[in-house]
Chain A
Amino acid sequence: MKTAVVIWTFLVPLLLLWWIFLRAAGLRGWISTLVAGVAALAATFFPWFGHPLPFWSASLSANFSVIMVVLLIVAILDRAGAPGIFRPRDWSAAWIFGAVASLLLYPSALGLGPQNFDSYALGWPWLFWGQSLALFGGTGLAAALLILRGNHFGYVLALALLGYAIGFQESKNLWDYLLDPVYAAVSLLVVLWALLRRAISRSR
């Protein structure tokens, strides 16, 4: 297995635990963040049922998206007190992108959308080259427009595209650099909740 893939499978549970520890304990500031980081590192390497956590998390998925990893880093730095890496509108862009991408990808990929169309296939550029432009060009354009508008999520999208170009994940499909089930679920929940709140406030 490629070294980059091994590192990636360790990075994801580490960052996820780190953020969960900070959030659960309500910690803020650099010292607390460092302490939570050490705790997360210990938990990541602890042999749970004989194996470290990445052994088990990689069993379920080795392809957590670049976007989710960067968002976790941003959230951890935010807790540490780093000044304004992501503003509310940057987070909004992240959740809207995740929700829209989820709806475009999962129903079709699971065979529940149009019968013989699979949007996941567009993530391998060599297979349906012409149609793949919609995904590759569309994501590049979205990143460029967000950057031009001063939205920091544009840089995260660009990093995901760069990650794909380097190809450090197990997957060779662009979708897996943009989206994973965890990021998709959180995005859909956040967007649904925001829509629900808006509908309730309008009805009052």
Chain B
Amino acid sequence: MGVVRILLAVAALFAGLWPWWAAREKGAKSFPGFVIADTRDAAPEARFNTQVVNPRSPHAKSHSATLAELSDGTLLAAWYAGSGEGASDVAIYLARRPPGGAWSEPEAIITRERFMADLRRNVISLGNPLLLADDSNRLGLLFVSIAAGRWSGSSMNLVWSEDGGLTWGPTRKLTMNPLANLSALPRNPPAPLVGGGWAVPVYEEFLGKFPEILWLQPRGEDLSAAVSRVEGGVYILQASLVPLAAERAVSFFRDFRPAKWMSASWSDDAGRTWSKPVTTELYNRDSGLCAIRLSDGDLLCAFNDVSPGKRENLRLALSNDEGRTWKTVATLAEEPGREFSYPYLIRGNDSMIRMVYSARQTQIVFAEFSEAWLRQQAEAAP
């Protein structure tokens, strides 16, 4: 055995170990913990307001809205719209509402043509946008592009805006799956991480249908992306991730089993591992839901309750035991034959709760209310 061969073998071993060791040296903890919003007093007045964000929409389909607040209080809502789900004319639209102002006319910020020019590859359609906002004016947008088939043929992309969403940089494709990078979708609000970055609840729906967490963390010059599993199998997806403390969090899941109850799972190590999901007592018939933590630690969930048709109402429920039991306190929308779906909740810097959802998958409805209003509804609820 020659010396050269031994040296090459040592070099091969080194080539394997070096990136692994360097990853440790680069710094930030893999699971740094969640940022918990401060628990300052909520707005004292009972306030409730609702508006349609896209009242003059020419599109047959507008769905899967996301919401973010910039540091100056400007609200941004984004959604996908076009002639139909998976259609080639679907684009990602964005509208903004300055503090005290009205919603602007929606503007297409990501189109299929722009995407194909950026990444030099074909795409059938776009969907599921998710806004990422932090204390700076830098704004991220996650969205999916469908390369083949329907949602199971989608992959995730990330673009950045340095001016609060007025202009957007080049698209970056995130690789999250080894099988042709198919099937990865975002849906619910991201959880900010200590030291920067986000834990974004995402899901896959190719062979398995299951929830995961996309970890976006500043490591070096760029934001590193990696995915960890919450639960495998084929029964839950679209997690809503709610940090309870720096190391503790709960995730609620859209459940498509016949039992029709929302599932929940808890983590005590900052999202690294999750308990086996259990069913809660909140109704869920395969519908998107969203939960957030209120200023007193109670949890608020927006969900579709029992109805003759699917998603004919949208209600709010409160929990004071980390999501194990719930009390339905308010109805935001209810009308037979109509659909109200995909709620998306955030808590604003002024402690107001803000929400967007789809009405009949054609209108994006914005609602904002104070915690005082919520408590008032809770007291009046049976």
Contacts and interface: CB of A to CB of B under 8 A. Distances in A.
Interface of A: 1, 6, 9, 51, 54-56, 58-63, 105-106, 108-118, 120-121, 124-129, 132-133, 136-141, 143-145, 147-148, 150, 154-155, 157-158, 161-162, 164-165, 170-176, 179-181
Interface string B152-191: 0000000000000000001001010111110000000000
Nearest to A129: B24
A174 B19 contact: yes
B181 A147 contact: no
Contacts of B196: none
Contacts of B14: 140
B227 A111 contact: no
Nearest to B28: A126
B228 A125 contact: no
19 contacts: A1-B118, A9-B120, A58-B121, A59-B122, A60-B147, A60-B148, A63-B175, A111-B204, A111-B207, A111-B233, A118-B229, A126-B219, A127-B215, A141-B13, A143-B15, A170-B173, A179-B178, A181-B178, A181-B179
Contacts of A55: 120-122
Contact of A127 (B19, B204, B226, B234): B226
Contacts of A173: 175, 178, 226
A112 B121 contact: no
B259 interface: no
A80 to B, nearest CB: 25
A111 B147 contact: no
Contacts of B226: 121, 124, 126-127, 172-173
A105 B178 CA distance: 8
Interface size class of B (residues with CB under 8 A): 35 or more
Interface in B203-241: 204, 206-210, 212, 215, 217, 219, 224-234
A120 B177 contact: yes
Contacts of A175: 178
Contact of A112 (B170, B173, B208, B219): B208
Nearest to A102: B178
B119 interface: yes
Contacts of A59: 121-123, 147-148
The 6 residue pairs across chains A and B that have the minimum distance between CB atoms = A140-B16, A111-B208, A125-B23, A171-B175, A124-B226, A158-B12
Contacts of A181: 178-180
A128 B270 CA distance: 13
A155 B208 CA distance: 35
Given A55-B122, A126-B224, A129-B24, A143 B232 contact: no
A162 B175 contact: no
Interface stretch (B3-11, B64-72, B299-307): B3-11
Nearest to B204: A111
A132 B224 contact: no
A124 B204 CA distance: 18
B8 A155 contact: yes
